[in-house]
Amino acid sequence: MDTTEAKGMLKEATGKVQEAIGSGTGDAMNQIKSRVGQVAGTTQEFAGRTVDMVRDQTGENPLAVLGIVAVSSFLLGLLIGSAGASKQLFR
């Protein structure tokens, strides 16, 4: 577990505490903030796990990771290029 994952778990726990307080007081704004905090925490925790997974895979099989990055970059370039071409059509 790295610091990103730990911070995400902390944000999620803080959001749950805020939700309990907001539910007890009936404060809708506090309930909304708590939900946002929970989602942010879950997202950050997922990002931390993803970083750990990529780090592990890179160490075990660097050529496969290089191939995935190359294909992903190529597809992203095609996507961005086609978005630029469609903008020019509508001018």
Give the pLDDT confidence of 46-73 residue by residue, as tens digits: 888 888 888 887 888 888 888 988 999 9
Q: Which of 8, 38, 41, 34 is nearest to 19 (CA)?
A: 34
Single pTM value for the model: 0.51
> How many Cα atoms are found within 13 Å in the side-chain-facing hemisphere of 87?
6
| E runs forming strands in 1-91 | none
CA distance 67 to 3: 28
Give the pLDDT confidence of 21-45 residue by residue, as tens digits: 777 777 778 778 878 888 888 888 8
| b/e sequence 38-51, b meaning 16+ C-beta within 10 Å | bebbeebbeebeee
